[in-house]
Amino acid sequence: MGDLINQILNLPKDLPLGGGGSGGGLFRIGLAHYIALSAILFSVGALGVMIRRNVITVLMSVELMLNAVNVAFIAFNRFGTGIHTQNSHGQIFAFFVMAVAAAEAAVGLAIIINVFRLRETVNVDELDVLKH
Amino acid sequence: MPAQYYPMLMIIALAGLIAASMLTLATLMGPYRPSKQKGEPFECGSPSRGSLHQRFSVKFYIVAILFILFDIEIVFIYPWAIQFMSLGMLAFVEMMIFIAVLVAGLAYVWKKGALEWEE
Amino acid sequence: MPGMFSELAKLDNWSQWSIAPMAIVFAGAVATTLIAGFVKDSTRRSFIGQISIFCLAIAAAVNYVQWTGGWQDPGRLVWAGSMTLDYLTMLMNFVFIGCAILAILISLNTISELGIEYGEFYPLILFATGGMMCMVQATDLLMIFIGLEVMSIPLYIMCGMRRSQDRSAESSLKYFILGALAAGFLLYGVALTYGATGVTSLHGIQRWTMENGGLAANPLLTAGLALILAGFAFKIALAPFHMWTPDVYEGAPTFVTAFMSAAVKAAGFVTLFRILVTGFFQNGYTASLVGWGEIIAILAVLTMTIGNFSALVTKNVKRMLAWSSVAHAGYAAVGLAAAPAAGADGVGGVLFYVIGYALTSFVSFGVVAAFEKQNGGLSQVEDYRGLGYSQPFYAFAMTVAMFALAGIPPTVGFLGKWYVFKAAVEANITWLAVIGVLNSLVSVYYYLRVVVAMYLESPEEQAEQEPIKSSALWLAVLISTVLTIGVGLFPKKPLGAVEKSVSPMFVKK
């Protein structure tokens, strides 16, 4: 599966897949596994934002998306693709994503509390005064 | 390629089999004597009374919001602190500006009374 | 330790100070936050507004010194290559500062009627303005992302500033959820781009793309660009990512709506074309790229058409203007779609268009704010009947705005459309220009409906209409109206500034 994803992602064949040499085959965790995990997490988060009706769950889904991004950043940074320079931009980016995620969560919670005080509901289907 | 996944498949199948058989055995062989006491949700012996949706004071939310805001800034301060000597004066000044902004935020929060627990 | 201060001395080569206007705005934001916290008296609110205007004026003055080349030659990368100081940045700094000042002027007279009894609006608008300045100045996807969030997060709050009003709270919640979703898409796009190229700086991406056979050779990079495009399409309300716009614009306080439709849209477009042109584009190299031009052309057609036809059936003036703002994002995107072939003309068209639209939207939303202030819930087109006689000044300004939005000369709206469509014809996508012109013709109907209502129809009951007394609001509407006509009549200088800003992006290096 790892090779397949590597082909899809067009990554070099000789990419160091990590794992420290312990075990082989299925249990050798490499970049492809992390990217697959990150893609799945991101999709779950995006789906959650779109289909869940409870605003708190939507907020959690947003956090899931941002954390999926962090997984991707750290994995790409660790396995150094692209121009193969060893920089730490990916890790730095992950720090900033964490900080922004916290700020977004704080503002989001405050907005949700305000809406709940006014409407006594956190169901997005019932928040529709602007449609009328 | 698929051959290397057979062990995984077997583990999944085995796990499902064990779980299913345990549930089946428990329902078939175990005694079933329901009572009112047993039907209650577990609550350490104390009677479970009160509304289903217990309201929490909004103060908890405010404290939680402020906590995550001020807590997360450590991700910037910590790397700076362990590299303090090699980063030098410019980084020190930058970090002091960063902390000053945080302190301004804290002063605002304090003055607004968001840290007061008792009204 | 000796020598530690020599690092500070490095700041003496003035290039590091190129972020000064942004830093001044942020310093003002922190200062006004503290003032808002420590000054309890709500009557001092306008005092905080005046301090904010003062900060913005200082930032504008510093920016002017930079524009005239007082400090250093522009165009260099500074702060480890994450920022630049080019004429585009400086021009946009003027635009953002101007937008913030106009929004504050409108707010000064209307904020208390809306029940916003606290001064926090002013620090928030300063933070948002600083975020925009950061976003436009950045040449690294990390700084662009931070700028975008520093811009967006205050806006989520500003939309909900009428805390006790359902519409405002809901508008803020909707904007927050969709904005966070957009940020997620944008970030995942950045992560994939980083995975493909190993860098986050736009120039690094460009170098990698040139050395490795273009976008088409790398599906990872293509997917990254697609996600970045989707994220920005949310922010600038390109269809099919526009659904939030009418709800959010209608529910937000009117001066916030004006600020969003003017400044946020301009910031989004400028950053988007900086990313596309600097990161994913090189002269003479477009043929092998997966054409983002074509993708944007399709989005532009969708956006124009959906925006205009939805505005056509909308009765509420503020909501109609929100739909019209969607349509105008579509017109500006026509110029962006032409950029791969028409180069500086396409991007210059976009820049001129968004600046012109920013002026016009302050006229239109300023007038809406004035009429709201006068009549409380005045909102439907029928409510505007007869205002041409009872409120001659504001009705005239509204007429100018409607003419500009419809693209009728001699307003800035006509020139903007002219340059954008001309670029499309130059780029051999005439069909797009034709669709744009047809859309403009459709839009004339609903814009002129407002003018007709104001001058040709009389209200059912002749209520006593007192002239609206609000000096700051009057000033804001006056300034933006004069500029809307003035730039339309004398476009030479503004066009020169736009030309100066975008042409360096297309110089072969």
pLDDT in the model for residue B46 = 60
Q: Test B112 with C37 for CB contact under 8 angstroms.
A: yes
Best mutation target, B58, B75, B86, B90, to test chain C (most C CBs within 10 A): B90
Residue pair A99/A66 in contact by the 8 Å Cβ criterion: no
- The domain spans of chain B are 58-112
- pLDDT, tens digit, for every residue of C175-186? 999 999 999 999
Q: Which of residues 33-62 of C touch B (CB under 8 A)?
A: 33-34, 36-38
Checking phi first, is residue C69 left (phi over 0); if not, alpha (psi -120 to 50) or beta? left
Residue B41 predicted with pLDDT over 70: no
Pick from C169, C198, C217: CB nearest A118: C169
Average pLDDT, integer, range B13-26: 93
Q: Which of C112-126, C154-168, C276-290, C400-414 has the lowest mean pLDDT?
A: C276-290
| B114: closest chain C residue by CA | C37
Residues of B within 8 A of C10 (CB-CB) are 90
Whether C166 sits inside 8 A of A119 (CB atoms) is yes
- Residue B98 dihedral angles phi and psi, to the nearest 5°: -60, -45
Query: Model confidence over C398-433: pLDDT tens digits?
Result: 999 999 999 998 899 999 999 999 999 998 889 999
Q: Which chains touch A (3 or more CB pairs under 8 A)?
A: B, C
Q: How many domains in chain A?
A: 1
Nearest to B104 among C7, C11, C33 (CB): C33
Torsion of CA B88, B89, B94, B96, to 10 degrees: 110
C-chain residues within 8 Å CB-CB of A45? 184
DSSP state of C115: T
Confidence check: pLDDT of A129 > 70: yes
All residues of chain B having their beta carbon less than 8 Å from the beta carbon of residue C33 are 104-105, 108
Best residue of C12, C34, C149 to probe chain B, by most B CBs closer than 10 Å: C34
Give the model's pLDDT for residue B36.
73
Residue with tokens 């933070």: C127
Residue A58: give the domain boundaries: 2-131
SS3 C138: strand
> Where does the pLDDT of residue A125 fall: very low under 50, low under 70, confident under 90, or very high at 90 and above?
confident
- Segments making up each domain of chain C, as ranges: 293-509
Establish, for the pair of chains A and B, how many residue pairs have beta carbons separated by less than 8 Å: 32
The answer to whether the CB atoms of A113 and B61 lie below 8 A apart is: yes
What pLDDT score was predicted for residue C288? 41
Q: Is the dihedral of CA C241, C242, C247, C251 positive or negative?
A: positive
Query: Is residue C360 over pLDDT 70?
Result: yes
| DSSP designation for C380 | B
Q: What is the pLDDT of residues A100-114, one digit of tens each?
A: 999 999 999 999 988
Question: C34-39 long-range CB contacts below 8 Å, 24 or more apart?
Answer: C34/B104, C34/B107, C34/B108, C35/C119, C36/B108, C36/C118, C36/C119, C36/C120, C36/C122, C36/C123, C37/B107, C37/B108, C37/B109, C37/B111, C37/B112, C38/B111, C39/C119
Rounded CA separation C367/B104 (Å): 37
pLDDT score, position C287: 43
What is the per-residue pLDDT for C136?
Answer: 94
Look at B57-66, C205-214, C265-274, C333-342 and tell me which has the smallest mean pLDDT.
C205-214
**Percentage of residues in chain C with pLDDT exceeding 90?**
54
- CATH number of the domain within which A121 lies: 1.10.287.3510
Two structure tokens written together for A106: 């704080």
Amino acid at B18: I
Cβ–Cβ < 8 Å for C337, C238:
no
CA separation for the pair C379, C250 (Å, rounded): 10
pLDDT in tens, A36-77: 999 999 999 999 998 888 999 999 999 999 999 999 999 988
ipTM associated with this complex: 0.88
Task: Tell me the helices (H) and strands (E) count for chain A, helix number first.
Answer: 4, 0
